[in-house]
Structure 1
Amino acid sequence: MAVFCKNCGNSMNEGARFCSACGAQMNFAAPPVYTAQTRLIRPRAGRMVAGVCQGLSNNYAWDVTWVRVITVLLSIFGGGAGIVAYVVFWVVMPEEPLALPSGTTYVPPAS
């Protein structure tokens, strides 16, 4: 893998700690860790109406109370934007699938 100086752009050896052209120190830090973005779903547990606020708070690690308060405030003071957004999310976000009990396998009906 080619290594380039972030200061001057010259090519360098992989093990170099300083750039031979400009003398800048190289920081070979570990690459940032990104978590996989999961799909937005409306969970079956913890929901109040349709699970939209609970799903948003679960996906983004927000407090569900604040999401619900913001939704209500947008509904009252935002000219109904909170209601429209809630209905759009309700239609767009799929519901969490039913979990089968452990040790149970699904057998489709014979046709």
Structure 2
Amino acid sequence: MKTDDFRDQVLALLHGIPAGRITSYGRLAAQAGHPGRARMVGAMMRNLPKGTRLPWHRVVAANGKPAFPQGSKAWLRQLALLEAEGLSISVAGKVTGEVWWP
């Protein structure tokens, strides 16, 4: 696997996640043709340039929650961005409803 090719595939898929939908790191890796590479996707999300216009907030952990520490600024920001897109969030911080993409 060429890392640059994988990165390009993941970023293209990330760009295509529609507003109001979410996916997981693992699903994104599998869609890019590399199941089991969820941590690599997480590393890519972590290293996106500050102020990126890519919808990083639409990628969550497999349990439907942000992967950031609960209550952290990043966790709260991700939930706020998802709520702004009309998604419902449980008290525990889990995105609820039929919102998984694809």
TM bracket (short chain): under 0.3
TM-score for both structures, normalised by structure 2:
0.27
Which structure is higher in helix share?
2
**Which has the larger Rg?**
1
Which structure is higher in strand share?
2
TM-score for both structures, normalised by structure 1:
0.26
More relative contact order, 1 or 2 (CA 8 Å, 6+ apart): 2
